[in-house]
Amino acid sequence: VVIVVLFRDHNSKQRERNQYKQRKALLTTQSPPTVSLTVMAKYAYAPLQIDQNRRGNQGGSSGNNLSGMMMSSSNNNSNIPSQADKDDGNDQLVQERMPMCVAICVLLAIVFVLSKGSGDIDLQAQQQLQQQQQHSLRSMDTPQVGATAATATTATTTASGHHSEVYPKPGMVQQQDLVDMNMVPEAAPDSLAAASTTTVNTATIETPPVASCPDCPTCPEPTTTTTTTTPNILDDPNALMAKLRQDALDSTPPHIIECSSAEAGESQDACHLPKSERYTALGQKGATLWMTGCSGAGKTTIATALEDLLVKHHGKHVYRLDGDNLRTGLNRDLTFTEADRAESVRRTGELATLFSDAGVITLVGLISPYRGDRDLVRKRHEDQGIPFYEIFLDVPIDELKARDPKGQYARVDSGELKHFTCIDDPYEEPLDPEITLKTHELKIEESAKILLQRLEKDGILMGPPKVTPPGLPNPDGDLLVDLLVSPTEAPSKQAEAATLPKVLLTDIDLNWLQTVAEGWAAPLTGFMREGILLETLHFNSLLVDPFNITGNGDKLTTKTKFEDFNPHRPNHRVSMPIPITLSLTEFTKDSIEESGKQDVALVTRMGKMIAILRNVEIYENRKEEIVTRMFGAIDMGHPYIKNIYAGGDYLIGGEIELLERIVYNDGLDQWRKTVTELLQEFDDKGADTVYAFQTRNPTHAGHAYLMKSAGEDLKRQGYENPVLWLSPLGGWTKSDDVPLDVRVKQHEEVLKMGTDHPGGLDPASTVMSIWPAPMVYAGPTEVQFHAKSRRCAGASYFVVGRDPAGMKGSMEAVAHQDDDLYDGNHGRYVLQNSPGIEDMKMLSFVKVMYDVTDNVMKVPDESRMDDFISISGTKMRLLARNGAVPCSATDIPTDLVEANCIPSGFMVPDGWDLVVDYYKNIDNTTRWIPWSQPHVDPPAAEGTVSTGSFGFSTFAMQNVGSASFWHDIEYMPSAYKNTEKGIINMVTEIPMYMAAKMEVDKSSPGNPIIQDSNKDGSPRYYTYGTPFFNYGLIPQTWEDPDLKTGLFGGDNDPIDVMELGSTSLKMGSVTPCRVLGSMELIDEGEMDHKILCISLSDPDASRIHNMDDLEAVKPGYIAKIVHWWKYYKTSDGKDVNSLGSETPRTVDQALQVLEEVHHRWRSLCGLDGTRRTALSSHTDGFWLASQGCRA
């Protein structure tokens, strides 16, 4: 067995070519020597970066040139190196190179043994062929660019016994051109082989010479026998190396155990930082974009443009791999054979996998002509859970030849280059690439933008997991916020809420609760704690760590600490410009602290327990600081500033659990969609991007033009299906804004008209959804929140006009009275540069006018301005109030107000009719729904009937069983007159926890229960806290103003009663109640008695008979009652009330008061003979015509 190990020095190709020529000349004159066993004294397999000095003494300038050694060993018998040569070796070098040498020897032995069994030639021919192969191996030339797995060699034995070898003849240059990666040398060496397909070695073996025949005049010609043999891999070092590589790969275990935490054949992720944490910390995901296509298709050019976009504009980590940087180092040992091409793709794929696993967006630009090689790379990525995008640059050959930036296609056409991929070598097009780019039809920037949009769509440019549909941005904090408890949990949590301290929500608070609970203010999950409020006020943004990368995962949900800081700051900033806080009074604060509980129930003004606030934090409401930082203006007449100052002196923060979905029952709930529902609707429409248009006014054709133009512009940017979100403001607005229902119904007509009118919108590409948050009119600060909350619901673009969220200063403003508080240009500028806005983009309004030539709103043509007229918002409102009718389509006057007409193309007709109806009836406030306020059914008792809307001035409740709550119900229930003293009937006006101030109407027929009003006519509500008692009247009583207690007369109403039990009573119910005592409230110069009682059906009624019993059963309750009546009006800006006594009256004293006010009622009704004319003038207008009040 002859084992020969050859190593070529990559740095000595030219010298080897010369040696090749010398060996060839020598071998043509002599047979190769017999080599029994050659043991190589020097062996080298270490990488090229091993210091050349360590190999300098091993055989010449080329280091360890074993081809040279073999040449010398054939000319002398000293095959075993001397001791001095051994001493020159380095132990470290031996250790580095020995394993590969042994492996190669073993593999060659295997190849040799296998080759012994093949072929049909005789033994002599086999021996000759083996000698030829050994000789060929010793004298092998440098591997050839484009060489095949085997090289043709012809061995011939003549009749005379002479041996000769015919070596491959240097032929035409063969090379693969990678034009856009500069991988081809300018001139190929002449010695490079030109074969690209596997050829078969043919050994022509002549038979022994035929003996002379004396009878013949001449001898016959020698005959020959030709035998074809299987090519031997030893003939081609490139094929040999490919075989060795493949054998090594095949013998390598497919799964390496990287650490003790992992198992063989399983994922090794346990040995690494988890991808989710790595990607979240980096702010991007790893992915590989594999660009394949013919030479010159633009792979490197487009990859470079995309790299520029990602790095410079988006701040992402990107690296580009192509022939230049790969063949400089990693792939420098590879040629352009099919096997080496496959190895190049494999190595590049492995490198890309590692880069992408590390969070790098990896751009690969390789021709990679073979589909199978690319598919293996894809599978490798898929096995590792790494996104892989095959990008096919599909360009016609004619276009490639026309481009030909380096002249390679011209060389192919001239015949100078052969086996050129896509010309005379195959290129296997991808069957199902993720993206196909026809770069001959696209600009470079357009191709790069298509790739960028795909990365955005798939969430590659964000680190955390994508939680929204493809193409839509993640909400701030990268987590969807939906705080509604599940239906199965709701009953138990409702029961828990009943046991918790109660915090009152105003209707504006309810808007904010909806905003937070439905995810519009992500990542907030509750009302702001003090630290979060400070960040909002000072930075208009928050630092957050929702995935706990820096150990700050609970930052938003834990109580503020001012002395114990985490040493590591959160790693992500999100926009949060508007304080979202909940105020409470000292009364509520004390109630919470006295309860000893960390959670509270949130209760609407109608008494509904709507949510639980967990782990609460109470802190000072620094109103002036909030106002000045939030508004940057001093204007005590500003409507939202007034709202802030009207709040309590404390704020409460905590996390929300929404017990039931917030609905308003105003006929508009179909347009109120949660963030989750909106995202689903966008997905159902196939949106690849969403742009939001916020409305505070009816939509006219100018608005429609801007919205449609924005959609067309997005399509030009490469989006296929941009969806418009028509987003009317739904929360609280100031009183002179267009009501919500008018706007929404007008928008309905706009969608109904579709594209048949210039002012219509296509419903197929439009979604309308009410935005729930209140307006605060904070100009540049507020518009940031408008944009941020739309992004949380899926919008990538926000249309913003002049002076967004601004208003005129009031007459109380320090500056800008009756003038814009904010410069009209500031909002757009601040929004574009605000912190935490991320990649959301702004679409600005442009000025549009009405073109009378075609009845369309558009950007005016400066060359014919006489054809355009301006219709401002002020002019539109005036025309609507005047009931303007459509103008002639062919004769539109320049003075629309004088003609009292509106151009037909200005607004959809039915929408205009709605606007006219509103402005003509603007003063009838009961017709309109100004903003989102709950319309709920009253908690009514049986036997009652209601009209109007509960909580509004139109509401009234009648008693069906009797004509009047006041006059026709017994003062004391007859069933108890002879059994227990001090039992009275109570008519409930205000059930426990309800803040709507209700009272019996003394003037209307039937004396219904109605909504009490403030002096300005607005509904009146308790604002000091949730009433912890049931409140009502005792029928057949009257506090006569002429009856003086000291200096104060009665309040001219039925006497009030507080029921102090633990159960909420129904409105309009009549409840037998045991009198416990009374209080005397001096209110605005009147004596207002409050009878204290407990319902006989209350669980504690058997234990409570007087005020002492009450204090014993409910400690602190009396003090709580006293505090309430003294301070309950202070939250409305009024003074503290006075009490006739801080100590409640006894039962007997209370009964004396009751006897007196009952007697006064009898006088009022004339039941004791008193004539009406003898009564106070304060009774004028009282309705006394009920059966119980007649003499």
pLDDT score at 1053:
93
pLDDT at residue number 860: 93
H or E segment and range at residue 683: helix 675-684
Give the HSE-up count for residue 1109: Cα atoms under 13 Å, Cβ half-sphere.
18
pLDDT of the residue at 255: 64
Count Cβ atoms within 10 A of the Cβ of residue 486 and give its class: 0-12 exposed, 13-18 middle, 19 or more buried: exposed
Of 163-167, 311-315, 329-333, 378-382, give the lowest mean pLDDT range: 163-167
Torsion sign across C-alpha atoms 842, 843, 844, 845: negative
Using CA atoms, how far apart are residues 996 and 1095, in angstroms rounded to an integer? Answer: 22
Supply the pLDDT for residue 1103: 96
Q: CA nearest 677: which of 785, 523, 520?
A: 520
> According to the model, what pLDDT value does residue 977 have?
81
Phi and psi at 14, nearest 5°, equal -65, -40
What proportion of the chain, given as a percentage, has pLDDT over 70? 80
Structural contact between residues 650 and 619, judged by C-beta atoms closer than 8 angstroms? yes
Of the chain, the percentage scoring pLDDT greater than 90 comes to: 62
Other beta carbons within 10 Å of 647: 21
Tell me the CA distances in angstroms from 627 to 435, 630, 639, 824, one per residue in order: 52, 5, 12, 21
Cα angle vertex 154, ends 148, 158, to 5°?
A: 175
Distance CA 1095, CA 1037 (A): 19
Is residue 106 within a helix (H) or strand (E), and if so which, with residue range? helix 91-116
pLDDT of residue 142 exceeding 60: no
Q: Give yes or no: 368 in active site.
A: yes
Give residue 1181's pLDDT band: very low, low, confident or very high (50, 70, 90).
Answer: confident
Residue 1018 has pLDDT above 50, yes or no: yes
The Cα–Cα gap between 1165 and 1159 comes to 10
Question: How far is 503 from 505, CA to CA, in rounded Å?
Answer: 7
Choosing from 115, 368, 964, 1131, which is the catalytic residue? 368
Q: Are 163 and 31 in contact (CB under 8 A)?
A: yes
Taking the C-alpha atoms of residue 730 and residue 615, their distance in angstroms, rounded to an integer, is 30
> How far apart are the C-alpha atoms of 1139 and 231, rounded to whole Å?
116
Q: What pLDDT shows up at residue 284?
A: 94
Mean predicted lDDT score pLDDT of the chain: 83
Assess whether pLDDT exceeds 60 at residue 1190: yes
**Confidence at residue 838, expressed as pLDDT on a 0 to 100 scale:** 80
- Cα–Cα dist 62/521, whole Å: 69
* Residue of higher predicted confidence among 1044 and 468: 468
Tell whether the model's pLDDT for residue 1106 goes beyond 90.
Answer: yes
Tokens describing residue 27: 């071998």
Mean pLDDT of 1049-1065: 94
Q: What is the pTM of this model?
A: 0.78
Higher pLDDT pick, 157 / 432: 432
User: Quick one: average pLDDT of 95-124?
Assistant: 59
In this prediction, residue 962 carries a pLDDT of 72
Question: What pLDDT was estimated at residue 50?
Answer: 36
Q: Write the DSSP symbol of residue 229.
A: -
More confident residue, 129 or 1057: 1057
**Structure tokens belonging to residue 786:** 């408008």
Check pLDDT > 60 for residue 1108.
Answer: yes
As a whole number of angstroms, the distance between CA 1054 and CA 1039 comes to: 6
Mean of pLDDT values over 889-910 = 92
Most confident of 622-636, 811-825, 950-964, 1165-1179: 622-636
pLDDT of 177 reads 39
pLDDT digits (tens, 9 = 90+) for 341-374: 899 999 999 999 999 999 999 999 999 999 999 9
Say how far apart CA 566 and CA 1104 lie, in whole Å. Answer: 53
- Residue 1133 has a pLDDT of 87
Residue 1048 confidence class, pLDDT cut points 50, 70, 90: confident
Band (149; pLDDT cuts 50, 70, 90) = very low
Q: How far apart are CA 382 and CA 379, in angstroms?
A: 5
Report which secondary-structure segment, H or E, holds 228.
strand 224-228
Query: Cα–Cα distance between 1079 and 418 in angstroms, integer?
Result: 110
pLDDT at 1068 over 90: yes
**What's the mean pLDDT in 897-925?**
94
pLDDT score of 1080 more than 70: yes
Q: Which of 293-302, 337-346, 558-567 has the highest mean pLDDT?
A: 293-302
154 with 20: CB under 8 angstroms? Answer: no
Lowest mean pLDDT among 225-234, 281-290, 850-859: 225-234
Neighbours of 303 (CB within 10 A): 24
DSSP class of residue 813 equals: B
**CA 448, 452, 453, 457 torsion: positive or negative?**
positive
Section 258-264 average pLDDT: 74
- pLDDT tens column, 214-225: 555 555 555 555
- With CA atoms as reference, report the closest residue to 1001 among 1184, 800, 798, 858: 1184
Enumerate the H helices of 882-1034 as residue ranges: 896-899, 909-920
pLDDT tens-digit map of 73-101: 344 443 444 444 444 555 555 555 666 66
Name the residue with higher pLDDT: 414 or 61.
Answer: 414
- Whether the per-residue pLDDT at 60 is higher than 70: the answer is no
Radius of gyration of the chain (CA): 46
Q: Which tokens belong to 837?
A: 């806005």
Phi, psi angle pair for 306, to nearest 5°: -65, -40
Read out DSSP for 347-386? HHHHHHHHHHHTT-EEEEE-----HHHHHHHHHHHHHTT-
Q: How far apart are CA 493 and CA 951, in angstroms?
A: 26
Residue with tokens 């403001």: 729
- The secondary structure of 1168-1189, three-state, reads CCCCHHHCCHHHCCCCCCCHHH
What's the mean pLDDT in 903-916?
A: 95
Q: Is the dihedral of CA 1186, 1187, 1189, 1191 positive or negative?
A: positive
Q: Supply the pLDDT for residue 222.
A: 55
pLDDT confidence band for 239 (50 / 70 / 90): confident
Res 837 pLDDT > 50: yes
Decide the pairing of beta strands 1044-1045 and 287-292: unpaired
DSSP conformation letters of 936-947: ----BPTTEEEE
pLDDT at 804 over 90: no
Q: Residue 667: is its pLDDT beyond 70?
A: yes
